[in-house]
Amino acid sequence: MSKELKVAVVGVTGAVGQEMLRVLEERAFPVRELVPVASARSAGREITFRGEAHVVRAIAPEVFEGVDLALFSAGGGTSREWSPIAASKGALVVDNSSAWRQDPDCPLVVPEVNAAAAKNPKKGIIANPNCSTIQMVVALGPLHAAARLRRVIVSTYQAISGKGAQAVAAFERQAAQLAKGEPLDAADLETLGGQLAGNVLMHWSRDAEAGYQEEELKMVFETKKIFGDESIRVSPTTVRVPVVSGHSESVTVECHEPLSAAQARALLEKAPGVVVVDDFARGVYPMPIDCVGKDPVYVGRIRDDVGNPGGVQMWVVADNLRKGAATNAVQIAESVFF
């Protein structure tokens, strides 16, 4: 990477923003100048990048002057207001919120699957998909290329860090209070959407008419958009589990052409971004505790679907803050600039 860029990270003090800095460092992304950006209440704080202190700037039009790349992870409202401003200044925006995912003029990109879609975005904005969608489509990509997806049934087991650092802290307090037999804090119950310690929750915004959660409907729309195939049927159920980091998914696949577990395993073993961890007879399969801080999507329990011959089932695990957010965003930038 010979070209060096001026890079803004918006939402730099948040969990994903901090992970973006780590990923930029680890991947030796050619940052000529870093512009750390956050809300006014975080302005003036110091963050460290490549061993040097940088002062966080409050978001404003002038912070994007001369910026080549703006990585946004500051929520949908902030992105809707400020991403077009950053793009108007000449920056390529890669946004981690849901603000632009359904915009037909904003590509929705997972580089292992549809890197070409990132070229020449009409609005100068590229959307980073939802964390649960990213890891699933990385695993589905080689199967779709070989046999074309017909239907996907997915149940997610999503980590608390996907809801942010405040949710992780609330969960830790709940677990401590539960262990001591103390009443649970009302504010923590509100933050988490209920008692998560010793429990699982389905607490995303609900579509009362459809009976689905917003998180589930994202997976339906995003999978179709990423693969460019509206005919793919996606049946999702999303669940928050008492795991701090690392999303897990049970995925059942039916393709237009019959696919065996052996064929699927061979395809996945050669797929970019995938690591097959699959020796279930010896108790070996991907676990979220083993994927934290790592970038690949781990796939195991690859097996023939006994309920639908010609179909395949598998278990998919990834770090939701890394490949599910920060790493994918940086990879998008790499695919565009280099």
Which stretches of 211-293 are DSSP H helices?
Answer: 214-227, 261-269, 288-291
- According to DSSP, the β-strands at 206-207 and 212-213 are antiparallel
Q: Indicate the Cα dihedral angle 158, 160, 162, 164, nearest 10°.
A: 170
Kindly name the residue from 54, 106, 131, 255 that is annotated as catalytic.
Answer: 131
Kindly name the residue from 54, 144, 247, 291 that is annotated as catalytic.
Answer: 247
Would you say 14 and 41 are in contact if contact means Cβ atoms under 8 Å apart?
no
Instruction: Judge whether 131 counts as a catalytic residue.
Output: yes
Instruction: Judge whether 247 counts as a catalytic residue.
Output: yes
DSSP 277-330: --BGGGTB---HHHHTT--SEEEEEEEE-TTSTT-EEEEEEE-TTIIIIIHHHH
Give CA–CA dist 134/12, Å, rounded: 21
Give CA–CA dist 293/3, Å, rounded: 27
**Residues with a known catalytic role:** 131, 247
